[in-house]
Chain A
């Protein structure tokens, strides 16, 4: 029950692929930083996706296992579904993911190799060590933002407790993380948190 029905030719698929190729090198830090540009292109300009489909792609990728960048595959998938078949949906997911990852991966590969070869140089060491405290703070900030998204109200206290207990267990033990995720899912499904 897609809201749009599309008839996409090969030039459209090529344009979709090209758009993600270009976005790839702009995505510094996280793929999310290019979301506004994706929205402008897919929803506003080409009208290949509805607003709801766009937002759902992000939410679902967040809830699913795997890197967050999979939301890109879901956007391609939904464009393909709007074009009418599972085949075109697979093509869409393939094109957007490949476009998003190809240029940046090639760049990262060569940059990392250069850095590995010159790792004793003062510039390279200063670059890596100087960013240490900043990237760790970014990680803690991400955890904080995720925890806060579950609500600051008094009713949300079981969720906060669950977050706190998880933090403590993972920090202090080598437990397999799936046990904790399973426990979280169970507590949530039973309605206890």
Chain B
């Protein structure tokens, strides 16, 4: 890819970027984070995004908030972590509180209900697209194509079809993937 990776210019840039993307995230912010930070701003490569996100997902706390904290601390240390948290949460919290007041009045209006329905359909598409795009970054994964597909299929079925709790997926295919990767990395002499 001819794309040159970049980094946030300043703490201000970090704050404004994260606020802007948090405000675009309807029904979850992860798809927007992936689109903005990887595709548009290129602060992270696809591979780096997947790696940091795996960490964010496994540790306690909301995964998107964790991910932004990790990105912030990577460029600006603890100040970056604080600014990332603030960017992700300050303005969106105010917005949601204002919406709570408005919702108490107008929530049942058919135009509002319809608009929310349309946005939910788009939000589902955003998340699916982010998943498809990231899947192409697995090409260089030491697990190999077949194992990646197998682990992915089991995880998808567990969550989407059988509605298993997340912890089961992380302890099952998650742990299996880590052990297999450890073994493969050893075989490759890395």
Judging by beta carbons under 8 Å apart, are B159 and A189 in contact?
no
Q: Closest Cβ of chain A: how far from B62's Cβ, in Å?
A: 4
Judging by beta carbons under 8 Å apart, are A66 and B92 in contact?
yes
Judging by beta carbons under 8 Å apart, are B30 and A139 in contact?
yes
Judging by beta carbons under 8 Å apart, are B114 and A128 in contact?
no
Residues of chain B in range 84-103 having any CB-CB distance to chain A below 8 Å: 85, 88-89, 92-93, 95-97, 99-100, 103
Q: Closest Cβ of chain B: how far from A78's Cβ, in Å?
A: 8
Given contacts A60-B96, A65-B95, A132-B54, contact A30 B63 (CB under 8 A): yes
Judging by beta carbons under 8 Å apart, are A126 and B182 in contact?
yes
Q: Which of B66, B69, B117, B174 contacts A188 (CB 8 A)?
A: B117
Q: Which of A68, A105, A166, A191 contacts B129 (CB 8 A)?
A: A166
Given contacts A104-B60, A132-B51, contact A29 B170 (CB under 8 A): yes
Judging by beta carbons under 8 Å apart, are A130 and B22 in contact?
no
Q: Across the interface, which residues of B come within 8 angstroms of A69, CB to CB?
A: 62, 64-65
Judging by beta carbons under 8 Å apart, are B121 and A193 in contact?
yes
Size category of the B interface is 35 or more
Q: Closest Cβ of chain B: how far from A137's Cβ, in Å?
A: 4
Judging by beta carbons under 8 Å apart, are A163 and B122 in contact?
yes
Q: Which of B22, B70, B93 contacts A93 (CB 8 A)?
A: B93
Given contacts A123-B182, A130-B177, contact A29 B57 (CB under 8 A): yes
Q: Closest Cβ of chain B: how far from A58's Cβ, in Å?
A: 12
B151 contacts partner chain A, Cβ-Cβ < 8 Å: yes
Judging by beta carbons under 8 Å apart, are B30 and A125 in contact?
no
Given contacts A66-B92, A163-B122, contact A112 B24 (CB under 8 A): no
Q: Closest Cβ of chain B: how far from A173's Cβ, in Å?
A: 9
Using a CB–CB distance below 8 Å, which chain A residues touch chain B? 24-31, 33, 56, 60-70, 73-74, 77-78, 89-90, 93, 97, 101, 103-105, 107-109, 111-113, 115-116, 122-123, 125-147, 149-150, 159-160, 162-171, 174, 177-178, 180-181, 183-191, 193
From A160, which residue of chain B is reached at the shortest CB distance?
B121
Judging by beta carbons under 8 Å apart, are A140 and B156 in contact?
yes
Judging by beta carbons under 8 Å apart, are A144 and B143 in contact?
no
Residues of chain B in range 106-131 having any CB-CB distance to chain A below 8 Å: 110-112, 114-131
Q: What are 7 contact pairs spanning A and B, CB under 8 A?
A: A29-B63, A104-B66, A126-B182, A132-B51, A140-B152, A142-B159, A183-B118
Q: Is the interface of A mostly helix, strand, loop or mixed?
A: helix
Q: How far is the CA of A139 from the CA of B177 in the complex (A)?
A: 17
Given contacts A181-B122, A181-B123, A185-B119, contact A66 B96 (CB under 8 A): yes
Judging by beta carbons under 8 Å apart, are B97 and A68 in contact?
no
Q: Closest Cβ of chain B: how far from A22's Cβ, in Å?
A: 11
Given contacts A66-B23, A101-B65, A137-B151, contact A108 B59 (CB under 8 A): yes
Q: Across the interface, which residues of A come within 8 angstroms of B190, CB to CB?
A: 122, 125
Judging by beta carbons under 8 Å apart, are A184 and B122 in contact?
yes
Q: Across the interface, which residues of A come within 8 angstroms of B78, CB to CB?
A: 109
Given contacts A146-B123, A164-B125, A166-B129, contact A133 B60 (CB under 8 A): no
Q: Across the interface, which residues of B come within 8 angstroms of A68, CB to CB?
A: 27-29, 62, 64
